[in-house]
């Protein structure tokens, strides 16, 4: 069925208002964007890594997780915890111990710290073992819950509290880890990268594919953070769109080894357009730091070219 | 009743087959590796319904146990030493979430230096993690305790660790009496949790952020559950005695009736020490032995009752606290005695670390030194390292 925003927003919510996430944060719309792709009749069990989302959505005795069940156990183990839940389902179902249970879907959420760094082993194990689950990384590019420390997802040159831009150092000295590609190489059933913009068609369609593709699936969502990035809270959607239009955050998916770029900007914007509104890149615009922007642009271009090549190669092969 | 000859690891794997848990996440580590190995062969041959998760680490093993148990499955795993250490964070979470996970801990020394042999540093290192800890002298006890552990865990809503000695118990073949499969099945019954993630009739959230207003009360509930588990362990053991003719108490008193001198010792060394007790008794020397079966909960009342009339006590620790004073068993048992107003000359022996052999002659030396302490009414030193080269 073709995507219809008006229909989708009428679906029962699985993540209710009243949570304590910041205004202008990308995580709540990420969660809603993903969970709204669940069929109304299906049940879901959500796992969350420790992080902003978890500590703001489930504070005893309250919970924002509605019309679904939820578990959090620790920071680095959402992959393993979710794989335990999913395996319990398979075991109990096989033994006929789950009479009357609807289809259950298993979705894990983790920030980039809990996914790219401390939780990478647990995620890798879960994907390799082939659990029927979706792991969603809401990537805000730093340890925002503890106050913007750098992660391996932090963009090159970004100013963070553990890799600050100073007189000698230019912010983060390494480029980002390419986790989406690492997930592709796990022979994952479906891998996608998406962002929050427009009428949420892209995230919805990718969530739907991930949830209803059997086997391990991974979705990476660019999830802006007003505190860590330093943008006005009402700019959430705009900043996401700039990430996409500069090709800093390409929208693409990989299924059965075939790369598909879902959006190619008619006019690819220069990276400055994405960097400029954010305080974390402010130092890059100081006189003498032009090389940083140049290098950043080169890295973005290189990744974009790589994806165009992969798309061409994998589509030609088939 | 079935007579068999099995190693400790085999005995535990057979118990697991008979229990037929829903999910077993495990990661190999010496000397517990055989447990998931034997169990995997049961799976491969279709004799269990279990789903096995071959996780990529022990941290993930306990994480997957937590996920599966929270989902409503009966869950078991096995580990040792570094594996248990890697699980450390998740052990506290398993108990804090009140999940009845049963974990076999085949005791092994903790690095460094690396050593694969037996001592109790691993389970003693996690003694405050909220797991019930059952200690086993023999293969038979490992088998029996594992079956009882399932029922204890589910009634207490606490995870249980069944501990026995690496290689000494895990790899030695002993005569053992097994229960029939259907008797075990009937004994453990169906697992029917009150709240679980897969319950189609309610949505729940587990593992919330718990702030100043509630955290303390929740931890007190955990402490109460551990305290109350004594009663549950006794009830389950009573019930088990009916089907097995083997009755287990919180502690075992061996020839303590008219004894004035006692040794307190865990696990397989109790077997060695019983031999020495018998020998000394044959010489007319009245000595006895106390073997705690539970260390969590601490059987305070029972220990005090058994030890209160002693003239000298040796508490044997196969783990060191590295606190410049004594081992963990010593500090807790002497604390129990002191709390009851007893001031009995009590010495501590750190022994057998890293699998160092403990011979009957070593144990006899300990008893003989206790005789002197009993006679003099005082000790010259508190802590000894039994048989260590200076």
Domain boundaries, chain B: 2-244, 251-385
> How close does chain B come to A205, measured CA to CA in Å?
26
- Predicted ipTM of the assembly: 0.97
Interchain CB contact of B338 with A (< 8 Å): no
B-chain CB neighbours of A79 within 8 Å are 60
Chain A residues touching B66 at Cβ < 8 A: 73, 81, 84
A&B contacts, CB < 8 Å: 168
**pLDDT in the model for residue A1:** 64
Q: What is the mean predicted confidence (pLDDT) over B10-31? A: 98
- The residue ranking higher by pLDDT, B95 or A102, is B95
Residues of chain A with pLDDT under 50: none
- pLDDT of B360 higher than 90: yes
Q: Do A74 and B89 touch (CB under 8 A)?
A: yes
Q: Which residue of B has its CA nearest to A119?
A: B60
Cβ–Cβ gap A128/B89 under 8 Å: no
Using the Cβ of B221 and the Cβ atoms of chain A, whether some distance falls under 8 Å is answered with no
CB-based contact A60 B208, cutoff 8 Å:
yes
Q: How far is A287 from A299, CA to CA, in rounded Å?
A: 21
Residues of A in contact with B60 (CB under 8 A): 77, 79-80, 83, 121-122, 125
Q: Please give the class, per CATH, of domain A11-317.
A: alpha beta
Contact predicate A182/A116, CB 8 Å: no
A72: nearest CB among B49, B72, B207:
B207
Please check the confidence at residue B155 and state whether its pLDDT lies above 80.
Answer: yes
CATH superfamily of B2-244: Thiamin diphosphate (ThDP)-binding fold, Pyr/PP domains (3.40.50.970)
Query: What is the residue whose two structure tokens read 């795993």?
Result: B77
Q: What pLDDT sits at residue A317? A: 57
Sign of CA dihedral A29, A34, A35, A38: positive
DSSP chain A: ----HHHHTTSPPSB-S---PPTT-SHHHHHHHHHTTS-TT-EEEEEE-SSHHHHHH-BTT---B-SSEEEE--SS-HHHHHHHHHHHHHHHHHTT--TT---EEEEEEEEHIIIIITTHHHHHHHHHHT-S-EEEEEE-SSBTTTT-B--TTSPTT---SSS-B-SS-BS--SPPP-HHHHHHTTT-SEEEEEE--TTSHHHHHHHHHHHTSSS-EEEEEE---IIIII--GGGHHHHHHHHHHTTSS--EEEETTEEEE----SSPPPTHHHHTT-GGGGGGGSTT-HHHHHHHHHHHHHHHHHHHHHHHHHHHH-
Summarize the confidence of residues B44-58 as an average pLDDT: 97
Decide: A194 and A221 in contact? Cβ < 8 Å. Answer: yes
Which chain A residues in 28-57 lie under 8 Å from chain B, judged by CB atoms? 43, 45, 47, 54-55
Asked if B76 reaches chain A (Cβ–Cβ under 8 Å), the answer is no
pLDDT one-digit tens code per residue, B236-285? 999 999 999 999 999 999 999 999 999 999 999 999 999 999 999 999 99
- A103 interfaces chain B, CB cutoff of 8 Å: no
Its CATH architecture, for the domain B251-385, is 3-Layer(aba) Sandwich (3.40)
Find which of A52, A55, A61, A91 to mutate to test the B interface (most B CBs within 10 Å of its CB): A91
Provide the pLDDT for residue A100.
Answer: 72
**Would you say the CATH fold of B251-385 matches that of B2-244?**
yes
Q: Is B211 on the interface with A (CB under 8 A)?
A: yes
CA distance B86 to chain A (A): 12
- Per-residue pLDDT reduced to its tens digit, B53-63: 999 999 999 99
Nearest by CB to residue B63, choosing from A54, A77, A94, is A77
């Amino acid at each position: 069925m073709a995507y219809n925003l008006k229909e989708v927003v009428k679906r029962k919510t699985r993540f209710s208002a009243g949570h304590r996430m910041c205004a202008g944060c990308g995580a709540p719309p990420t969660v809603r964007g993903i969970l709204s792709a669940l069929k109304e009749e299906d049940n879901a069990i959500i796992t969350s890594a420790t992080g902003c989302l978890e500590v703001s959505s489930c504070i005893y005795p309250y919970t924002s997780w509605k019309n679904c069940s939820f578990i959090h156990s620790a920071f680095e183990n959402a992959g393993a915890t979710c794989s335990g839940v999913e395996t319990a389902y398979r075991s109990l179902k096989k033994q006929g111990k789950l009479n009357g249970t609807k289809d259950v879907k298993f979705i894990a959420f983790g920030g980039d710290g809990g996914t790219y760094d401390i939780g990478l082993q647990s995620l890798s194990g879960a994907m390799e073992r082939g659990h029927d689950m979706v792991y969603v990384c809401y990537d805000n590019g730093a340890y925002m819950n503890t106050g913007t420390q750098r992660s391996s997802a932090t963009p090159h040159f970004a100013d963070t509290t553990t890799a600050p831009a100073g007189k000698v150092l230019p912010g983060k000295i390494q480029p980002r880890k390419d986790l989406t590609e690492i997930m592709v190489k796990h022979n994952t059933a479906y891998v996608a990268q998406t962002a929050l913009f427009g009428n949420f068609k892209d995230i919805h369609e990718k969530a739907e594919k991930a949830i209803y593709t059997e086997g391990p699936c991974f979705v990476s969502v660019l999830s802006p953070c007003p505190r860590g990035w330093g943008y006005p809270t009402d700019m959430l959607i705009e900043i996401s769109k700039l990430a996409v239009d500069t090709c800093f955050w390409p929208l693409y998916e990989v299924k059965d080894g075939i790369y598909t770029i879902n959006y190619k900007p008619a006019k690819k914007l220069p990276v400055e357009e994405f960097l400029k509104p954010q305080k974390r890149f402010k130092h890059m615009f100081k006189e003498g730091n032009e090389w940083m922007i140049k290098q950043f642009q080169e890295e973005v271009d290189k990744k974009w070219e790589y994806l165009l090549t992969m798309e061409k190669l994998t589509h030609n092969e088939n | 009743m079935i007579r068999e000859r099995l190693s400790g690891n085999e005995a535990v794997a057979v118990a697991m087959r008979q229990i037929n848990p829903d999910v077993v996440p495990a990661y190999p580590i010496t000397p517990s590796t055989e447990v998931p190995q034997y169990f995997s062969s049961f799976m491969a041959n279709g004799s269990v319904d279990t789903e096995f998760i071959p996780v990529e680490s022990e941290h993930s093993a306990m994480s997957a146990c937590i996920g599966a148990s929270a989902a409503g499955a009966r869950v078991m795993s096995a580990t040792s030493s570094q594996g248990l250490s890697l699980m450390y964070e998740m052990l506290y979470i398993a108990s804090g979430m009140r999940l009845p996970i049963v974990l076999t801990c085949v005791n092994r020394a903790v690095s460094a230096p690396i050593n694969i042999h037996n001592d109790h540093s691993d389970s003693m290192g996690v003694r405050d993690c909220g797991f019930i800890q059952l200690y086993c002298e023999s293969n038979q006890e490992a088998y029996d305790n594992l079956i009882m552990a399932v029922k204890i865990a589910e009634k207490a809503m606490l995870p249980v660790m069944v501990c026995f000695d690496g290689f000494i118990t895990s790899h030695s073949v002993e005569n053992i009496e097994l229960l029939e499969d259907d008797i075990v099945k009937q004994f453990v019954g169906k697992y029917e949790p009150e709240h679980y993630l897969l319950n189609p009739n309610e949505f729940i959230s587990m593992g919330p952020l718990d702030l100043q207003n509630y955290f303390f009360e929740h931890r007190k509930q955990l402490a109460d559950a551990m305290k109350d588990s004594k009663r549950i362990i006794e009830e389950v053991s009573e019930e088990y005695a009916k089907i097995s003719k083997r009755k287990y108490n919180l502690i075992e008193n061996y020839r303590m009736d008219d004894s004035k001198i006692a040794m307190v010792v865990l696990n397989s060394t109790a077997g060695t020490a019983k031999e020495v007790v018998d020998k000394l008794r044959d010489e007319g020397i009245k000595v006895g032995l106390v073997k705690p079966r539970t260390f969590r909960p601490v059987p305070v009342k029972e220990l005090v009752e058994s030890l209160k009339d002693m003239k000298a006590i040796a508490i044997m620790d196969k783990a060191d606290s590295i606190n410049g004073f004594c081992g963990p068993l010593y500090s807790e048992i002497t604390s129990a005695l002191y709390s009851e107003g007893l001031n009995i000359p009590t010495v501590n022996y750190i022994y057998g670390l890293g699998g160092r052999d403990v011979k009957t002659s070593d144990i006899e030396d300990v008893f003989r030194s206790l005789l002197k302490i009993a006679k003099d009414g005082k000790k010259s030193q508190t802590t000894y390292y039994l048989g260590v080269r200076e």
